[in-house]
Structure 1
Amino acid sequence: MLKFSGIVLACVALMGYMGNIAFAHGEKKGNTAPVVKEQTAWGIAGHASKVVRTIDVSMGDDMRFKPGRMEVREGETIRFVVRNTGALLHEFVIGTPAENARHAELMLKFPGMEHDEPYMAHVAPGKAGEIVWLFNKAGEFEFACLMAGHFQAGMVGTITVTAK
């Protein structure tokens, strides 16, 4: 009986772990949980009261972002308002080039993969999404649409964070 209980507990733990990583490569479904602020190589989720400016971004079925290049200063909290002008689902994901490339490869293998991170906005056609991000590290980062095939079609932009 103890062996069976251990297997059941392991399965329950694994399901709980998978549940924590498995939300959102589609539209958010009204998740009201607080944003988990985890430091990344490209910054950390920002607080809306600390926003210093808003950057409007459009993305469309031409597989391009407008603007395709942005500059921010280290320490700035930016609100990105991301509008999908196309007919396909698109997303705006901030990361390092290596992290976005790795994630894009996973999306090709598992196009239905879901997760929800504060540096991602999944935007339905004709809708807008928002990210508030604190750039607390200088460097060259990127934003990309990691929907299967979109990254590979060139749907990538650059964020340069200049040191204070």
Structure 2
Amino acid sequence: MNASKLLVAGVAFSMSAVAFAGGTHGSGHGTAIGEPGKVDDVSRTIQVEMQDNYFEPESIEVVRGETVRFVIENKGKLVHEFNIGTPDMHEGHQKEMMMMVEHGVIQGGKLNESMMSMDMGNGKTMNHDDPNSVLLEPGQTKEIVWTFSTKTNMEFACNVPGHYEAGMYGDVNFNSSADSQARAHH
């Protein structure tokens, strides 16, 4: 086997291991943090601005069972990510994002879209297409509709290498009194 085939095979194997360990890219997010929401169930919209290494707002408050539409705009000069997950999920996902930088997918303020769909073996790609996450170039706006069906320790974060470490994450706080009121009405 030549060196380039070995490299692709090694990258594919490591991506698969990271994907399953981190619960991201292709392994399907699910009940651990909630699930993709239906537009018809949206109770409110939260506008999120991404600047270079912080989010506005810095935290959000939700009610268990609530479906929220996030409208996320990158107002920074670099590529940024908005990803809903647990701290462990973010830790695993950061390894995948490092691979995206190492392979030229993320190039400072630009995404190399053709590299994102490159076959890494076993049907794996570097597409950033999970329902709980968006990756945006400067000036882009995208949406996520998410149902917070599980009350767990979670946050939203940018996992582009160095951004989380620089403080680009925020808490998802559950409003307990609203939870009990919502259950009483159902």
Q: Which residue of 1 aligns with 2:83?
A: 93
In 2: Cα distance, 1:143 partner to 1:38 partner: 14
Q: Deviations over 1:112-156 (max 9, x none)?
A: 444310000111111211100000011331000111221121111
Q: Which residue of 2 aligns with 1:145?
A: 158
User: Alignment partner of 2:139: what SS?
Assistant: coil
| Mean Cα deviation higher: 65-74 or 111-120 | 111-120
Structure with greater helix percent: 2
Residue in structure 2 matching 1:59, options 28, 43, 50: 50
Q: Which residue of 1 aligns with 2:38?
A: 47
In 2: Cα distance, 1:83 partner to 1:110 partner: 21
User: Alignment partner of 1:131: what SS?
Assistant: strand
Identity level (%): 42
- Asked if the contact 1:90–1:123 (Cα under 8 Å) also holds between the matched residues in 2, the reply is yes
Classify 1:48/1:147 alpha carbon distance in 2 versus 1 (closer, same or farther; 3 Å). same
- Asked if the contact 1:59–1:83 (Cα under 8 Å) also holds between the matched residues in 2, the reply is yes
Q: Which residue of 1 aligns with 2:184?
A: none
In 1: Cα distance, 2:167 partner to 2:99 partner: 18
Q: Which residue of 2 aligns with 1:70?
A: 60
Q: Which amino acid aligns with 1:153?
A: A
In 2: Cα distance, 1:136 partner to 1:161 partner: 11
- Asked if the contact 1:139–1:160 (Cα under 8 Å) also holds between the matched residues in 2, the reply is no
- Asked if the contact 1:139–1:162 (Cα under 8 Å) also holds between the matched residues in 2, the reply is no
Q: Deviations over 1:18-37 (max 9, x none)?
A: 7xx8xxx9xxxxxxxxxxx8
Residue in structure 2 matching 1:156, options 130, 146, 169: 169
TM-score (norm 1): 0.72
Which consecutive unaligned segments of at least 5 residues does structure 2 have?
Answer: 1-8, 20-24, 106-125, 180-186
Aligned residues: 134
Which consecutive unaligned segments of at least 5 residues does structure 1 have?
Answer: 1-10, 26-36
Classify 1:43/1:129 alpha carbon distance in 2 versus 1 (closer, same or farther; 3 Å). same
In 2: Cα distance, 1:67 partner to 1:143 partner: 11
CA shift at 1:106, angstroms? 3.6
Classify 1:95/1:82 alpha carbon distance in 2 versus 1 (closer, same or farther; 3 Å). same
